[in-house]
Structure 1
Amino acid sequence: MTAGPADSFREYVHARLGALVRAAFLLTGDSYLAEDLVQQTLAKVASRWEQIVADGNPDAYVRRVLYHQHVSWWRRWRREPLPVAAVPEVAGADPHGPTTTAIAIRQALAKLAPRQRAVLVLRYFEDLTEAQTAQVLGVSTGTVKSQARDALARLRAVAPELADLQEVSK
């Protein structure tokens, strides 16, 4: 008995869910929004799964849907601060602590425009080329280059503590 499309989809989700949620988290900066983004993405691709698998590269297709879904979110929603009962405490960056470094990176990414954040996540987290990033986002390669340049310049301005990370990684 051969596995059907539902089994194939279930296996794909089981194997790739962690990576999809991580990428979504880097895009949204919020674990709940990341889960919602992945859920909406998987709901969109589930109905076409057999065709997606037949095309030969389901991972690229799912990632593209994920990033397009994120783009549609930030086009639709204005990034206005929402009222909260208590303001969370902000931790400073500690170059020796991986947890505080991760927090500093997340806070810095949150200061970028959504398109800039998407470009940086695709280029440096997903390790895609400029051409692949442009294809996923549906923009030109020049747009990817300029968005990456502007995003990195903005990160240098708003999060100078991240410069220490670059020196440590060399």
Structure 2
Amino acid sequence: MASGAVIGDGNVTSIPEGFRHWTFLGAPLTPNGLNGGAAGFPEFHHVYIHPDALAEFELTGVFPEGTTIVKELVLMHEGGYEDGSRDEPSGRGFFAKSFNGIDMMVKDSDRFADTNGWGFFNFGHHEPPYAETATAASAAECASCHADNATTEMVFGKFYPILGQN
């Protein structure tokens, strides 16, 4: 499996060890200050993919079975402006502060046929420690949004220039 995730009976039994050292895809941000105070995910989304899965995707244009993509939510430092931004030596902007949750998607076309071949998992939307296991989310929880909006299979490739989907 090109992922590092351990799957059994529909559960991911662990967050892949060392995922923060995988290939960093990007860090989309949808802050509350730009979304009427109610963004669904107001944190940075630090997104990682196992290097072997990325290498195969770059060769074939298809994510291999077992691909695991980890999204770690990262809170921002409190801002002094209405949009949530703040002034720092590098200029006005948004700046990462602390970890606040883990979501993960795993490609397994047999196990997750009902959600276009991908399983979606949440290990908690809070500061660490995160849950040790997670059960696959229902289609309504994650997969339907990915199916309606993703640009490559179930992945939001347009947000990650490294995937060449802009």
Q: Which interval holds the TM-score relative to the shorter structure?
A: under 0.3
Higher strand share: 2
Report the structure, 1 or 2, having the larger helix content. 1
What is the TM-score normalised by the length of structure 1? Answer: 0.27
Could you say which structure has the larger radius of gyration?
A: 1
